[in-house]
Amino acid sequence: MKLVVVTGMSGAGKTVALKMLEDMGFYCVDNLPIPLMGEFVSLLADNPERESEKVALGIDIRSGQELPLFDGILNSWRNGSVSCDVLFLDCSDEVLVRRYKETRRSHPLSGTGRIDQGIVREREKLAFLKEEADYIFDTSKLLTKDLRHELENLFLEHRNYDNLFITVLSFGFKYGIPADADLVFDVRFLPNPFYVEELKNRTGEEAAVRDYVMQGGTAELFLKKLYDLIDFLIPNYVQEGKNQLVIAIGCTGGRHRSVTIADALYRHMRLLRPMGLKLEHRDKDLHRQVPAGK
């Protein structure tokens, strides 16, 4: 039997994750009283008909005073014959507050106080679960489809995961540097297809534009140095405990050069990291006129 415990901050997406796991063939149970969990799992494990079954248990702050009891139950599973993974869904305080305000729901620990105070108390109570977690997903910037993709990779395709989710993002400087960018690379030094009439309205996803950007060897040399830098940084970020990384590649309008380089970086990283990675072209389809001389 494969057992996954899904837990995390209220509002971070635990219920959504459980529904996705159910779609993947998991037998899901949410908010089972913790004193009953050990017996529940034992009944499933001792049933030969359920030997190959995949089970997901949802645990959160609603367990109240019983929550600390789970630490001992988890240790008994891991020291016994039960294969158990803990998935912890986290989220930034700012995003959690916004989600609660949008849904007009109160935080389970806020009572008549403020939402942010409830979030602080919840983090303290769930700290031991996060420390025990095998996988941590930060859903602050994850779309629902991205969360599904990561769960499928992890629990259906059984790929390795190191808790770092990377976004490769192309953008146009004329529209502003992405506020959430961790690393920003300016590729405005590369040949600009904007000044070629047959290419100006096309994008870096097309071969003709890519060939123009890559001409002369400068882009190829830049990519080699960029690959070396990113390959060096990623394991160090993982060791430091970082779980979100946004690599932003910018040109003037975000249609040609940045898209070409971002695509190339994404393909390179896809070979090394088969999961925890997505590509986004923020400004590719914006059709504003670029000022002369840019």
Query: pLDDT tens, 119-138?
Result: 999 999 999 999 999 888 88
Tokens 């994750």 sit at which residue? 17
HSE of 143, CA atoms in CB hemisphere, 13 A: 8
Query: pLDDT tens, 179-194?
Result: 889 999 999 999 999 9
State the helix-helix crossing angle for 14-23 and 144-155, rounded to 10 degrees. Answer: 50
Beta strands in the chain, from DSSP E residues, in sequence order: 2-8, 27-30, 54-58, 83-90, 135-138, 165-172, 183-186, 244-251, 277-281
Q: Which residues contact 105 (CB under 8 A, 6 or more apart)?
A: none
Is the pLDDT at 51 greater than 90? The verdict is: no
Ranges of each domain in the chain: 2-155, 165-281
CATH topology of domain 2-155: Rossmann fold (3.40.50)
What is the structure's pLDDT at 105? 78
What is the structure's pLDDT at 243? 74
Name the residue type at position 24: M
**In angstroms, what CA-CA distances link 292 with 54, 189, 194, 195?**
60, 16, 10, 10
State whether residue 255 is helix, strand or coil.
coil
Neighbours of 205 (CB within 10 A): 16
Residue 161, token pair as written in the block: 């995961």
pTM of the full predicted structure? 0.67
The residue-averaged pLDDT of 209-234 equals: 95
Alpha-carbon dihedral angle through residues 202, 205, 207, 210, given to the nearest 10 degrees: 90
What is the structure's pLDDT at 289? 47
